[in-house]
Structure 1
Amino acid sequence: MPLRIDIDHSRRLVHTNAEGLVGLSEILDYFDKVAVDDAMPYAKLFDASKARFSISDDDMMVLGARVSAYASMEPRGPIALVVGSDEDFILGRRFANLGGAKRPLRIFRKVEEGRTWLATQPDVTPPPRA
């Protein structure tokens, strides 16, 4: 399985490890799991340093539409994306600009750098339910 997703509600953290080939369907499954488990406001550490991505321009359009659809689920927590190559860094930049998302996102080369940055981000408290 290319993605291992651990949602820790007590720490308000989603930690994902990606390995091998990751495509559109795996990323959409990730989005769905985070949304269904009410983890959108949590900090997210997405370690893709051991992954290879197979994402076409058409796939990026689909991802952009999904990110836009989640815009109504504000607030969304910060994302630390850890990549292993220059190519994935560029792909990460493209993802960061999708759908007008209003959440901090930084790209790192080392997991510890991402963890450290997430620790400096303010906790995002969801609005009260009506």
Structure 2
Amino acid sequence: MPVQWTVSHPTRLVIAVAKGSLRLLDIEHYLDGVMTANALAYRKIFDMTLATPNLSDDDLMALGARIRAYIPLGKIGPLAIVATTQKSYEQARMFVALAEADRPIKIFRELHLARQWLDSQPDSPPKPGG
């Protein structure tokens, strides 16, 4: 599977690692998993170090629209994206521009810097009933 993730409810953290060819369907499956786990408000790392993104501009626009559709559902947690190649970095930048959610989001070239930044982000408790 191109995207594997773990959800830690005690630490309110989602770590996703993409490997191989990364397509829209792979990211949508990951987002479905985050929603099913009720982890939308959690801090997230999305590591694309081992992935080759195969996302068109239309795919990125669809992802941006999907993230914006989550806004009425409640708080969306901070996101650190690790993108080491020029292509993955450029696509991450486009995603950030298109997924205008009210949350901290930053792109990194190194995983340890992403984790350090993410650990410095405040974590809000979930809203009552959610």
Partners in 2 of 1:30 and 1:44 — Cα distance?
Answer: 12
- Structure 1 runs, 4 residues or longer, greater than 6 Å off: none
Residue 87 (structure 1) shift: 1.6
State whether residues 61 and 95 of structure 2, in contact with CA within 8 Å, keep that contact through their aligned partners in structure 1: no
Residue 37 (structure 1) shift: 0.7
Q: Secondary structure at the match of 2:127?
A: coil
Give 2:113's aligned residue: 113
Residue 61 (structure 1) shift: 2.1
Structure 1, unaligned runs of 5 or more: none
Give 1:30's aligned residue: 30
Structure 2, unaligned runs of 5 or more: none
> Percent identity between the aligned chains?
39
Q: Secondary structure at the match of 1:97?
A: helix
What's the Cα RMSD here? 1.3
TM-score scaled to structure 1, two decimals?
Answer: 0.94
Q: Secondary structure at the match of 1:124?
A: coil
Residue 2 (structure 1) shift: 0.7
Partners in 1 of 2:88 and 2:109 — Cα distance?
Answer: 10
Give 1:46's aligned residue: 46
State whether residues 53 and 87 of structure 2, in contact with CA within 8 Å, keep that contact through their aligned partners in structure 1: no
